Amino acid sequence: MNTDEHGCLLIIKVSRLNSNIGIKRETNKFSYRFFYQSSSLVIFFIFLLTINPLSANPDSISIELKHTYADENKITKQDSEQIITILRKLVIAVEEKNASKIVKYISKEKGAYLDVKGLWDYESILEEIKKEDSYLEVYFFHHEKLVKQKQSENVLTVLELLQTSGGIEIDLFFESSTACEGKLRFKKNKKLEKDMNNPYFLKVNGKWYVYRLF
């Protein structure tokens, strides 16, 4: 083999070596990009799961329907289910300290009793929740404000009552096909039940609303 042939073979071997190194580098780059993209997808899907409304509020206070009393009133299973759904959403709204969400379940035509003393029309409720020390803010959400209002340390907000209940059991009493009262029972700390109002619901234009808050 002459010198030219030897040099040519050497160039070919070096070229092949460089080519193999290049392939390995490209493979490594591809592997890195694939790993990075896969990791990003996994993180993205985990993020989606965390905001999935079906998995939200895992520690929310449980609401369990125990009995339904209708006498001869014509009601359906859907009536009970709608009321329990509203009650659960109201509890979540209280846990979130979100007065606006509570108002969503109040009829614009009928308004609601925020307490047992007085009926509020819908517009008045909207104006009330804009206040810094609104009724819901004081009696439902904020312990210190309730203490100041009542001038007593021996008070609990609706949120605190729910949190100490250990879960809520409810019996529904249908007074008619469009009116229903819920009797609440605590699974724990039953002596505190008396500090909660029994919620009342009205069916307006085929849809159930809360008419008296708990």
Average pLDDT on 37-64 reads: 49
H/E segment holding residue 209:
strand 207-212
Residues 198 and 174 reside in one and the same domain:
yes
Question: Quick check: 102 pLDDT over 60?
Answer: yes
Residues 42 and 139 in one domain: no
- Polymer length of the chain: 214
What pLDDT does 59 receive?
58
Phi, psi of 134 (to 5 degrees): -65, 165
**Same-domain pairing of 79 and 147:** yes
Q: Is the pLDDT of residue 205 over 90?
A: yes
Main-chain phi, psi angles of 209, to 5 degrees: -135, 155
Higher pLDDT: 97 or 73? It is: 97
Q: What is the pLDDT of residue 76?
A: 86
Q: Are residues 102 and 170 in the same domain?
A: yes
Whether 111 and 47 share a structural domain: no
The tens digit of pLDDT for each residue in 171-192 reads 999 999 999 999 999 999 999 9
CA angle 149, 126, 158 (to 5 degrees): 40
- Tell me how far CA of residue 157 lies from CA of 41, 153, 160, 191, 214, in angstroms: 43, 11, 5, 15, 11
3-state SS assignment for residue 186 = strand
Residue 67 above 50 pLDDT? Answer: yes
DSSP per residue over 19-64, as a string?
Answer: HHHHHHHHHHHHHHHHHHHHHHHHHHHHHHHHH-TTTS-TTPPPEE
CATH label of the domain that carries residue 157: 3.10.450
Boundaries of domain holding 144: 63-212
DSSP class of residue 141 equals I
pLDDT score, position 43: 42
Same domain? 49 vs 76: no
Q: Are residues 68 and 159 in the same domain?
A: yes
Question: Comparing 162 with 26, which gets the higher pLDDT?
Answer: 162
- Is the separation of the CB atoms in 111 and 85 below 8 Å? no
pLDDT at 65 over 60: yes
Count other C-beta atoms under 10 Å from residue 160's C-beta. 16
Is 90 found in the same domain as 156? yes
Looking at residue 167, what DSSP letter applies? S
